[in-house]
Amino acid sequence: MSNFAFGTYRISDYNPQHIEALKAAISSGITMIDTSSNYMDGGAERAIALAFRDFDDEIKANIKIVSKYGYIQGTNMSNHKEMPFEEVVEFSEDCYHSISKPFMKNQLSESLSRLEMKKIDCYLLHNPEYYLLDAINKNIDYDTRLDEMYRRLYEAFIGLEEEVQNGRIFSYGISSNSFSKSHDSEEFLPYEDLLTLADKAAKYVGNDMHSFSTIELPINLLERDGLKCASWAKENGLRVLVNRPLNAQYNGMMYRLADYEESIEYFHYLNELMGVCDNEELKPLYTLLEQLDANKHKFGWIGDYDSFLYAQIIPHIRKSLEVLEDAEKENMFNYIDLFLKEYREMVLYECSKNTKLALEEFLDNDYEPLQKSAINYLLKKDEIDYILVGMRKPSYVYEIMALKG
């Protein structure tokens, strides 16, 4: 049966609740924490260090830290523009990527510093398939791009084998969304050849055997192709970490595999705010509220709403409030904050209803909460060692740990 691990994708060292959640997880028996150099621009790793300060060395020694490198965003992007990193893939305006050996060594040093550690259990290449995606966009033929992908992986493995020698990591591996693609997908990263590359890298640096130990990939109730990769990994003695257990892609849509309660405060705050806006001066905001209420059931999943909030809703609100004096603006922002908090709860509720309707075939008349069905599906898989779950509040920690029974 699988174990739970603490995933730190949205964990920040500035949020005290996140630190308390990490402490609660450690106290509850979590033995693995998964993080990355780019999570909250290093904030996730700093948060782990802060949480660890409350525990003695014996407890900390039992917790495996897995971190990753590859993304060039935030501080890394600023550093890259000052002194460019090697073999960089410019995937989008705000997302570059590299798995080069020099970049790996730089990122490992930064991670160890933020974690306040001299050594971590495992260091992963984070979605190295960004090179493949870029090569596909550039119409580079299959054999050429795969040869170059293997070359880059081999050079990275050499660097990681050196870091095993240096005593800064126990082992290494790859976290890849492409492991969960079907074999005939252009984006699929062939995993069957990875151990051959690792063996070759270990021999090159003089290690008796390779230290490739771990793969990480998305598997969930809807995305099941990754189970083939997980089976291969277990047959070869590798550890399997599964991410996105509750965020699933299916038929080009994203689904949040969790039930949410209807907000009991929503209509109170909606009516209160609309009452305040029921005048000619704030007519644009009044109209926006009407539209939001009418469309709260139309978001595909909560990520769509979050993107829409920052791209459309907030700019529209700010423009609508330009007619007010500063003191009036501040008062209105208080009303709006309360409304938006409850509106998001309503969107979650509507999304969960739509998800259950859309996914009836996967639930087999299962009347358990959706998140319990999704987690139980993974817990029963012998191919999986750890299920990475984001737990940003202590209450989330206790809810998840209770699922295992």
Each residue of 308-317: pLDDT tens digit? 999 999 999 9
Q: Return the biggest CA–CA distance within the chain.
A: 78
The backbone torsions φ and ψ at residue 155, rounded to the nearest 5 degrees and listed phi first, read: -60, -40
pLDDT at 203 over 60: yes
Per-residue pLDDT, 358: 79
CA–CA gap between residue 37 and residue 171 (Å, rounded): 17
Residue 298 has pLDDT above 80, yes or no: yes
**Residue 309 gets which letter from DSSP?**
I
Q: Which amino acid would we find at residue 366?
A: D
pTM of the model: 0.88
pLDDT of residue 364: 66
Average pLDDT over residues 368-397: 92
> What residues form DSSP beta bridges with 387?
4, 242
Cα distance between residue 304 and residue 326, in whole Å = 31
Q: How many helices and strands (H and E) does the chain possess?
A: 17, 13
- pLDDT greater than 90 at residue 94: no
- Is pLDDT at 279 greater than 60 in this prediction? yes
Residue, of 366 and 386, whose pLDDT is higher: 386
CA gap 230, 212 in Å, rounded: 15
When pLDDT is cut at 50, 70 and 90, the band that residue 253 belongs to is confident
Using the predicted structure, report yes or no on whether residue 182 has a pLDDT greater than 60: yes
Q: Does residue 286 carry a pLDDT above 60?
A: yes
Residue type, 156: A
**Residue range 153-169, pLDDT digits in tens:** 999 999 999 999 999 99
pLDDT score, position 49: 98
Question: So what's the pLDDT on residue 404?
Answer: 73
Tell me what pLDDT residue 368 has.
79
- 4-55 per-position pLDDT tens digit: 999 999 999 999 999 999 999 999 999 999 999 999 999 999 999 999 999 9
Residue whose pair of structure tokens reads 């644009």 in the numeric block: 284
Report, as an integer, the average pLDDT of 332-361.
90
Q: Please tell me the distance from the alpha carbon of residue 264 to that of residue 346, in angstroms, as a whole number.
A: 9
Q: Is pLDDT above 90 for 107?
A: yes
Alpha carbons within 13 angstroms on the beta-carbon side of residue 138 total: 12
Instruction: Report CA torsion sign: 170, 176, 182, 188.
Output: negative
- pLDDT range class, residue 373, cuts 50, 70, 90: confident
- 366 pLDDT higher than 90: no
Q: pLDDT confidence of 61, banded at 50, 70, 90?
A: very high
Distance CA 376, CA 247 (A): 15
Strand partners of residue 309 = none
- pLDDT greater than 70 at residue 216: yes
For the ranges 3-12, 118-127, 198-207, 295-304, which has the lowest average pLDDT?
Answer: 295-304
pLDDT of the residue at 2 = 67
Q: Give the length of the chain.
A: 405
